[in-house]
């Protein structure tokens, strides 16, 4: 008996850059395309809509994709790291960049287009 063809669903993903303590928080999405992870805007026929910036938002966009059920997605969030106590003259020895904390969460697309956390 042949396997049923994969059903496609439409999903919407929001990404952006937001004001945070000691810097900015950046949220992006990657989707699995063949053997590579690509940014959602590179997905075939992706529709990217720039959203109105509001208080605390540097930029924000909404991306609509048509993906097969079971597609893999990764949410990448980068935020400023914890405050690091430094010597008064440390700025002469190192760059003034704030340490970043990056977290990744993996998801699969469910039958109704919902994102299911993948463990």
Using the predicted structure, report yes or no on whether residue 100 has a pLDDT greater than 70. yes
* pLDDT per position as a tens digit, 1-59: 455 556 899 999 999 999 988 889 999 999 999 899 999 999 998 999 999 988 999 99
pLDDT category, 94, cuts 50, 70, 90?
A: low
The token pair at 117 is 């956390």
Q: What percentage of the chain reaches a pLDDT higher than 90? A: 63
What pLDDT score was predicted for residue 4?
54
Where do runs of H (alpha helix) occur along the chain? Answer: 90-93
| Token pair of 77 as six digits | 């969030």
What torsion do the CA atoms of 89, 94, 98, 99 make, to the nearest 10 degrees? -120
pLDDT value of residue 118: 80
The pLDDT of residue 67 is: 94
- Mean pLDDT across the chain: 86
Write the DSSP symbol of residue 42. Answer: G
What pLDDT is stored for residue 31 in this prediction?
A: 95
Name the residue with higher pLDDT: 83 or 100.
Answer: 100
In angstroms, what is the C-alpha Rg of the chain? Answer: 19
Go through the domains of the chain in sequence order and give each one's CATH number.
8-81+96-117 (2.60.40)
């Amino acid at each position: 008996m042949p396997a049923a063809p994969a059903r496609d669903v439409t999903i919407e993903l929001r990404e952006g850059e937001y004001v945070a303590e000691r810097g900015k928080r950046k949220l992006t999405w990657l989707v699995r395309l063949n053997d590579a992870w690509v940014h959602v805007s590179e997905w075939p026929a992706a529709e990217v809509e720039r959203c109105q910036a509001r208080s605390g938002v540097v930029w924000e966009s909404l991306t609509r994709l048509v993906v097969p059920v079971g597609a893999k997605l990764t949410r990448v969030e980068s935020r400023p790291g914890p405050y690091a106590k430094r010597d008064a003259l440390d700025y002469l020895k190192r760059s003034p960049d704030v340490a970043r904390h990056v977290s990744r969460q993996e998801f699969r697309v469910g039958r109704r287009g919902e994102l299911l956390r993948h463990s």
